[in-house]
Amino acid sequence: RKYVLTFEEANPDDVKLLGGKATSLVLMTRLGLPVPPGFTITTVACKEYYKSGEKLPEGLMDEVIEGVRYLESKTGRKFGGGDTPLLVSVRSGAAVSMPGMMDTVLNVGLNDKTLQGFIKFIGSEHAAYDAYRRFLAMFGRIVLGIPEEEFNKPLDEIKRKYGVKEDPEIPLQGLKELVDLYKQVYIRRVGKVIDDPWEQLRLSIDAVFKSWNSPRAKFYREANKITPDIADCTAASVVTMVFGNADWRSATGVVFSRNPATGEDELYGEYLPYAQGEDVVAGIRTPKPISELKKEMPEVYQQLYEGVKKIERYKKAVQDVEFTIEKGKLWFLQTRNAKMNPLAMIKVTVDMVKQNWMTKEEAIMTIKPQHILQVLYPRIDEAKAPKPIVKGIAASPGAVSGQAVFDPDTAVEWAKAGKRVILVREETKPDDVHGFYASVGILTSRGGATSHAAVVARAIGRPAVVGAEGLKIDYSTRTAKAGDVVIKEGDWLTIDGFTGNVYVGQVSTIEPKLPPEFYELLDMADSVSVFGVKANADTPEDATIARRFGAKGIGLLRTERMFRAPGRLELFRSVILSTNANERRDALNKLAELMRRDFEEIFEIMEGYPVTVRLFDPPLHEFLPNVEELVAEVTRARTLGRPDPEKEALLARVRALMEANPMMGHRGVRLGITFPDIYMAQVKAILEAALELKKRGKNVQVQIMIPQVSEYKELEYVINNVVKPTAEEVFKNYGDRIDFKIGTMMETVRASLTADKIASVVDFMSFGTNDLTQAVFSFSRDDVENKFMSQYLNLGILPYDPFVTIDRDGVAKLMKIAVDLARSVKPNIEIGICGEHGGDADSIRILAEVVGRGLDYFSASPYRVPVARLVTAQESL
């Protein structure tokens, strides 16, 4: 045989040959579960069908006849037989599921003659005629292409005639009349009733193959990028029909092998006695919970339970199983991996490791970064939520409240004023992206899950609801209407990027409660990972979250905010501006004292793990008063004839500090060399804090990191003239010492190209890939997003934003060169990355590939630590 394989002889791994639906039946057959006998006409036949101009290949029907004979022998029924008719379904199914896109024909084999045997079998004339009229309509529509109205019109007539609203209420007489009316439709449209079962079967197979290239199926494949190497044609399976509506010992149902919402290890699902699939969909009778079946048909329940568990164990994934009970006998009709809530998914995966059903490694590979991300964000507190005013597509996870604004510029303006805003637009375009960054959430009335708004919101981690079509937005009045509700600019909205719901007002959200399994999974990840994960944390709050999420230390503590806090900015300004040496020293000492307390707090939280403190990085003028305001004040004073010499001196000093290109200017290590007082004060504060904790018996591991280096002599100079002398002084005053490491940021091209020299003078290095990306591309990291990046992406000039995901061909390559150089002189030097890329799953994958184990750790912002732990583990396997 060339085209036909029975479920008993096919191989369940041949997805491309058999299609997904058939492989699930083949697998269940192989596992010894009761599956209605069937066979599959493989995709090979479908491909030949198209090659020969949509004709069934020669010899195919002979094989099909042989297949039907096999079904007859398995079931003891006869295809086209009057007494014990065999009825079959003809089902489409490609290698990937294309839900609802292709056709399936049920009850093939029914005609006036077989109907009689079917009535006897099913025990109800009503049920049999109902199946018959459904078959005539389905076959007519799908196989013969008769328009649906042709069948709907008589159906409505009959319902009117008998005064009923719903299909199942039509009395037997009405069904009989309907069958006659349908036969007349056939005669009118195709000249005859197709009552030869073999012709029905042949035409149904033809129709299933044809549906592969229906416009909707083609469109679906294009939209979902299903290329021929993924799925190249459909298979057609011929399966024995079983009936859940044969008597009260019959039923149809759906069951999950575990609870898909919670992950609890219990059967979850429902069933409807004396019914078939359509009845469940129609929702006229309420199905019963599966636990009832345990009472009503304990043996069937037990068989179902064992079967479902057997598949689950084989597939190592929770199953969503369709079944039918026909006269007390259970049949498995379909199984697939269940769609689950991500927390449930994590729980189940960890449980399966504990049950020894899967290995730690398999568990780590099962969970995707998206699962982790989805459980970390706040959710709507359903108990306290009002009715949503409108619902759209859940496009980017998280629930968030903000004030409505209708254009991106206002979003930016309001955000600068400290407001939380939700950007509401009909749809968005690349020019709006600055508004995304300024907003806490995005809401659009048009577009789908791959619209611009959705893609960008996900990329930058903003919750988003898109395509909320019930929302009528009027830019001219800055309002939006949903039914009777009018939303004005500034009104509070809450959007739920998990469900697509939109609410008026500030709906309370719940911070996610992470189950123990979440942490257990990440501990498993750590146990196989060859990379470490640390956090970028500047405050005690950050450090606490980072530690809770399992960061093994701080890879970057940016110290700038310690100078910006209220009360400190003034002190720092006098350090920069004062010409009086005593005043400056005083201010610096006070600052050092305040910073020492900050460090103590953070070191204590991170006890036992290294904390990498980066010395002062930004240009000084960022801390000074605004020049334009100063100029205005000085001018005003002069015009009033009362010049203010102090202000004028200040202005002169501020002007002197200004630079044409401050990001490439007097900052980082350059300041450390020319303005050493600041670094000295920081080193003093860090080491005093460390010694203080040491005195209290705490284990502190201090690493001091110097930024913006491009030449190793810069480092040599600050280490020998600033850091070390200060340390010695602190140790002397304290009467105690502590070990600490000195390292550098790698964020210039030159540092990377001379990494061997740099390595020779430091204990560790950490790639600042934000600045390094800026330097490698010569793109201003603060401006690209608003200016040209989105256009570059739309035009395909860049495949992705290199400030989000590390540039493989340039930046990652340079890092590889640097790491090799550094390790050539100091093989065991510690090397990490602390740019934003450290928490981006794709970047971690790229770096693991390009740089590999030359990197020791990834440092990520606290909320991204869990993803980094998972992905680094996956990349270690």
Give residues in contact with ligand PEP (CB under 6 A).
Answer: 556, 558, 617, 747, 768-771, 834-835
265 in Cβ contact with 253 (< 8 Å) = no
Name which of 253 and 618 has its Cβ closer to ligand PEP.
Answer: 618
- Residue 174: C-alpha distances to residues 110, 195, 410, 434 (Å): 19, 21, 64, 64
665 near Mg ion, judged by CB under 5 A: no
H or E segment to which residue 793 belongs:
helix 789-794
Q: Which stretch binds Mg ion (CB under 5 A): 197-205, 587-595, 646-654, 744-752?
A: 744-752
CB of 799 to ligand PEP, least distance (A): 21
Among Mg ion, ligand PEP, none, what does residue 760 contact (CB within 5–8 Å per kind)?
none
745-764 residues in contact with Mg ion (CB under 5 A) are 747
Name which of 661 and 828 has its Cβ closer to ligand PEP.
Answer: 661
Among ligand PEP, Mg ion, none, what does residue 403 contact (CB within 5–8 Å per kind)?
none
Name which of 249 and 558 has its Cβ closer to ligand PEP.
Answer: 558
Name which of 324 and 682 has its Cβ closer to ligand PEP.
Answer: 682
CB of 867 to ligand PEP, least distance (A): 18
Q: Which stretch binds Mg ion (CB under 5 A): 27-35, 413-421, 770-778, 782-790?
A: 770-778
300 in Cβ contact with 328 (< 8 Å) = yes
Among ligand PEP, Mg ion, none, what does residue 558 contact (CB within 5–8 Å per kind)?
ligand PEP
CA-closest candidate to residue 868, choices 551, 611, 610, 462: 551
CB of 745 to ligand PEP, least distance (A): 7
Place of tokens 């013969």: 144
Q: What is the rounded (10 degree) CA torsion for 744, 745, 749, 752?
A: 50
The span from the CA of 430 to the CA of 856, in Å, is 37
402-441 residues in contact with Mg ion (CB under 5 A) are none
Name which of 80 and 532 has its Cβ closer to ligand PEP.
Answer: 532
Among Mg ion, ligand PEP, none, what does residue 367 contact (CB within 5–8 Å per kind)?
none
836 near Mg ion, judged by CB under 5 A: no
Among Mg ion, ligand PEP, none, what does residue 769 contact (CB within 5–8 Å per kind)?
ligand PEP
User: SS3 sequence, 816-827?
Assistant: HHHHHHHHHHCC
The span from the CA of 801 to the CA of 807, in Å, is 8
CB of 617 to Mg ion, least distance (A): 6
CA-closest candidate to residue 209, choices 227, 236, 228: 236
Catalytic choice (46, 233, 371, 834): 834
From the number of C-beta atoms within 10 Å of its C-beta (0-12, 13-18, 19+), residue 313 rates as middle
CB of 833 to ligand PEP, least distance (A): 8
H or E segment to which residue 651 belongs:
helix 645-657
- Residue 296: C-alpha distances to residues 123, 329, 332, 333, 692 (Å): 21, 13, 19, 21, 71
Active site residue 46: no
If you write DSSP's letter for every residue of 552-600 in order, what string do you get?
A: -SEEEEE-THHHHSTTHHHHHHHHHH---HHHHHHHHHHHHHHHHHHHH
726 in Cβ contact with 733 (< 8 Å) = no
CB of 615 to Mg ion, least distance (A): 12
Q: Find the binder of Mg ion among 408, 676, 768, 832 (CB under 5 A).
A: 768
Among Mg ion, ligand PEP, none, what does residue 835 contact (CB within 5–8 Å per kind)?
ligand PEP
CB contact set of 71 (below 8 Å; sequence gap of 6+): 37, 38, 39, 77, 79, 86, 88, 238, 240
- Residue 399: C-alpha distances to residues 410, 712, 759 (Å): 22, 48, 45
Among Mg ion, ligand PEP, none, what does residue 819 contact (CB within 5–8 Å per kind)?
none
Among Mg ion, ligand PEP, none, what does residue 701 contact (CB within 5–8 Å per kind)?
none
Name which of 15 and 746 has its Cβ closer to Mg ion.
Answer: 746
Name which of 556 and 730 has its Cβ closer to ligand PEP.
Answer: 556
433 in Cβ contact with 456 (< 8 Å) = yes
Catalytic choice (371, 452, 621, 837): 452
Name which of 201 and 613 has its Cβ closer to Mg ion.
Answer: 613
Total number of residues shown for the chain? 877
CB of 351 to ligand PEP, least distance (A): 38
Q: What is the rounded (10 degree) CA torsion for 595, 598, 600, 606?
A: -130
771 near Mg ion, judged by CB under 5 A: yes
CA-closest candidate to residue 324, choices 20, 33, 9: 33
CB of 758 to Mg ion, least distance (A): 16
Catalytic residues: 452, 834
Contact residues for Mg ion, defined by CB under 5 A: 747, 768, 771
